[in-house]
Amino acid sequence: MALALPVPVVGLVLLLASGHLTLPLDRIVTIEAKMASKRDFFENPEVRRILMKHGFRVHITRMGSRDIATQDVAGYDVVFPSGQPAADLITRERAEAGHPALTYRPFVSPIVLATYREYAETLDDADIAEPQPADTSDTSDSSADGSAEPLYYTLDMGKFLRQTKQGRRWDDLGISKHGVHNGNKILAQTSDVCDSNSGGTYLGLVSFVWHGNDAPGNGKDADSYARDIKDLLIEQGLPGSERAETYLSVDGKSIAPISVIYEHQFLAHQIRYEAEHGRPDSGRVLLYPSTRFVTEPQLVALTGDGERLGELVTEDPELQHKAMELGFRVRDATSDSTSDQLAAFLADRGIQVPATSADDTKAVLPRLPLLERMIQTVGECPPAQSPRQDAK
């Protein structure tokens, strides 16, 4: 009997430590979900633990935002595309079929251009980008003369796109002064516009800037605008499915110096890096377009269990705090604005806080049918099909 005791005792200790002691007595609901890049949040081990504590296990099918919007949603409790266009397509189709869906917006994350310091400084030399002021009181990451090195730059999108249109190359801008040689064209690489929200959103941003801060008003304009910007986007070569993973995992200075990603992906990297090294990763920096567009990821609940998950993610303080730790700008549960928690969290760790200027122009995406039309023209991708609705 004495020899048999340690086994149940050890099991009891493990259950107590993990917070799962009562789980066998509770109903654990498995949520079937289709998610794009915002799966970063739900795949975090701590987030999974918190969700389990509330009786949820989320099983994720990975898929690009546009694929989420155009494929069958039968059998799923929630879908979580990374931006509003895909969510709007889903909710519109469901409403027309008599199956309205609730949407939840727990956090936001701007589209940004991720690059390396040498490239940002080269753009600064050419008056195409300028550094955002760094907090000079933080000396954890300073250059040789004692001045803090900025992590963020503001990019003049019009000037940047003209470099691509003119066929300019990095060597033409004098990047060799910063110890790098690169004869490739100056452009930003995106995920496939046919699959991803970031690719489609960047397409809309490029079109808006290239056409004098104007969005197409009809199908004829959409076709014309798309043809105008196609060369600015397709010369990047074969796009990767996940630009952030490549940018953060390998040194792509020579082959992919600028990638279109979400802000939270960069900030999450900086938070992890600072925790491990005691300082930010100063070699990787962000370019914030002066014409900006903040993506609005929407969790679309398709079932009652999906609605319960949406309410929990939007309102639970633990989950909101964890989202902030993963670089998201968390929405204030009592208002429609984002809270200031992220800025304070970064500042406490000696990580520069990104600034947005009131002078920046806010980009307007084309209306959903026109954006779809432009995506098909630029990406030469198959047209979106109306998703078959489930009978729930």
- Domain positions in the chain are 27-108+295-348, 110-137+148-294+356-379
Q: Which of the four pLDDT bands, split at 50, 70 and 90, describes residue 146?
A: very low
Average pLDDT of the residues in 131-155: 66
Question: What is the pLDDT, as a whole number, of residue 199?
Answer: 86
In whole angstroms, give the CA distance from residue 124 to residue 103.
Answer: 41
| pTM > 0.85: yes or no | no
In whole angstroms, give the CA distance from residue 143 to residue 98.
Answer: 60
* Pairing state between β 56-62 and 29-35: parallel
In whole angstroms, give the CA distance from residue 296 to residue 275.
Answer: 28
Fold of 110-137+148-294+356-379: D-Maltodextrin-Binding Protein; domain 2 (3.40.190)
Question: What is the pLDDT, as a whole number, of residue 153?
Answer: 97
Q: What percent of the chain has pLDDT over 70?
A: 80
Question: What is the pLDDT, as a whole number, of residue 84?
Answer: 77
Question: What is the pLDDT, as a whole number, of residue 127?
Answer: 97
Question: What is the pLDDT, as a whole number, of residue 335?
Answer: 52
Question: What is the pLDDT, as a whole number, of residue 359?
Answer: 55
CATH architecture of the domain with range 27-108+295-348: 3-Layer(aba) Sandwich (3.40)
Asked whether the predicted pLDDT for residue 101 surpasses 90, the reply is no
Residue 44: strand, helix, or coil: coil
Domains 27-108+295-348 and 110-137+148-294+356-379 belong to one CATH topology? yes
Lowest mean pLDDT among 44-58, 63-77, 172-186, 213-227: 63-77
Question: What is the pLDDT, as a whole number, of residue 176?
Answer: 94
Lowest mean pLDDT among 104-108, 145-149, 208-212: 145-149
CA trace torsion 356, 336, 323, 298 (10° rounding): -100
Asked whether the predicted pLDDT for residue 280 surpasses 90, the reply is yes
